[in-house]
Amino acid sequence: MEEVKNGEKLTLVTRKPCFGLPTACPTCLPVYIYLRFAQLPFDVEYNLIYPDSDQIPYVEFGSHVVYNNEKGGVIQSLKDEQTVDLDSDVSGIPEWVSTKAMVESWLAEAVMYELWVGSDGSSAQKIYYSDLPWPIGKCLYFKQIHMVKQLLGITKGNAERREEEIYRRAATAYNALSTRLGEQSFFFENRPTSLDAIFLGHALFTLHALPETSVLRSKLLDHANLVRYAENLKAEFVDADSSSSSVSPSRSDPSSSMPKRGPSNWKSNPKSKPKREKTEEEKKFKRRAKYFLVTQLVAVLVFISLLGGSNDAEVEFEDGDDGLDYE
């Protein structure tokens, strides 16, 4: 916090904006909102060609880089390192802890299901793959469908039961959140916390990025106070013109400006000075970028060939393919 107060900005690397949102990725949007809630200056850079990277979003700050796939995610890392902590007064409240866990599990699971399995895939294609060549984007999309089904435990035999369970839990979560919120502006202590950032990101994605036919969207629309909460905070923290964040040119490689992992390799130079490791990574990226599309294509072709060796996998792959337009 001291370095931030001295004028050094954070840089959030995220996926691109669309659907009227600053980033349409349901994992990235809560991090963006959390930083806006904290009212700290930060730059935004977009990654367009690594749709399957679990490092994104990540935040650079001085000598630190915190990744989505480490330490419980970006928000938790920022709290642990005392860079940005909005939860210091509520983290000991049992109801806050259980409500946040419900949002991070039941509602996150429901969005994952809708985005990859329970819809026609148009939203996922636009968010993750529209900047890639069509064959590679399509193959990566099918690969992700298969991975999500495995993660959610969906098989041909239990697909209907799992769908019912996912939506039932989402409806229960919305009911509990609606009751908790009432007519307040925030869920606890009349101020934003990470719970608000996570749920607001979920709500805005559900309302704006999912199609009108979305079952999850219809369940959220049943709760007028949750919709009003989402739109009011969107107007105040997301849409409002502010000098607290700025957009920088797109970044292609999620590791092109990162220091290597581990505290011993974190740099102490401020961002306004040259960073030696960063320059070396940029040199490496010049070589990697040339072969990126080829290696991605090889990876998905290997995946498809391995998938074809299993009858069960073939069935699951075909299931995720229903209703898609190949034209």
CATH of the domain at 80: 1.20.1050.10
For the chain, the distance separating the N- and C-terminal CA atoms, rounded to the nearest angstrom, is: 51
Whole-model pTM? 0.77
Could you give the C-alpha distances from 290 to 138, 285, 296, in angstroms and in order?
21, 8, 12
Q: Does residue 141 fall inside a structural domain?
A: yes
Edge-first strand listing for the sheet containing 58-61: 64-67, 58-61, 10-14, 42-46, 245-247
Which token pair is 229?
Answer: 């909460």
Give the Cα-Cα-Cα angle 314, 320, 322 (nearest 5 degrees): 105
Neighbours of 265 (CB within 10 A): 12
Expressed as residue numbers, the domain containing 124 is 10-238
Q: Does residue 185 fall inside a structural domain?
A: yes
According to the model, what pLDDT value does residue 254 have?
45
Q: Does residue 107 fall inside a structural domain?
A: yes
CA distance 307 to 101: 34
Q: Does residue 321 fall inside a structural domain?
A: no
CA distance 259 to 318: 41
On the 0-12 / 13-18 / 19+ scale of CB atoms within 10 A, 275 is middle
According to the model, what pLDDT value does residue 276 have?
39
Q: Does residue 262 fall inside a structural domain?
A: no
CA distance 225 to 305: 49
Q: Do the beta carbons of residue 18 and residue 24 sit within 8 Å?
A: yes
According to the model, what pLDDT value does residue 260 have?
34
Q: Do the beta carbons of residue 74 and residue 67 sit within 8 Å?
A: yes
On the 0-12 / 13-18 / 19+ scale of CB atoms within 10 A, 247 is exposed
Strands 245-247 and 10-14 come out as: unpaired
Number of domains making up the chain: 1
Q: Does residue 251 fall inside a structural domain?
A: no
According to the model, what pLDDT value does residue 242 have?
45
Neighbours of 84 (CB within 10 A): 24
Q: Does residue 290 fall inside a structural domain?
A: no
Reply yes or no: is the peptide bond before residue 51 cis, omega within 30 of 0.
no
Q: Does residue 245 fall inside a structural domain?
A: no
In the chain (327 residues long), the average pLDDT of successive 10-residue segments reads: 59 95 97 95 90 92 87 92 92 96 98 95 94 91 95 96 98 98 96 98 98 96 98 93 49 42 30 43 50 58 55 43 41
Residues in the chain: 327
According to the model, what pLDDT value does residue 91 have?
92
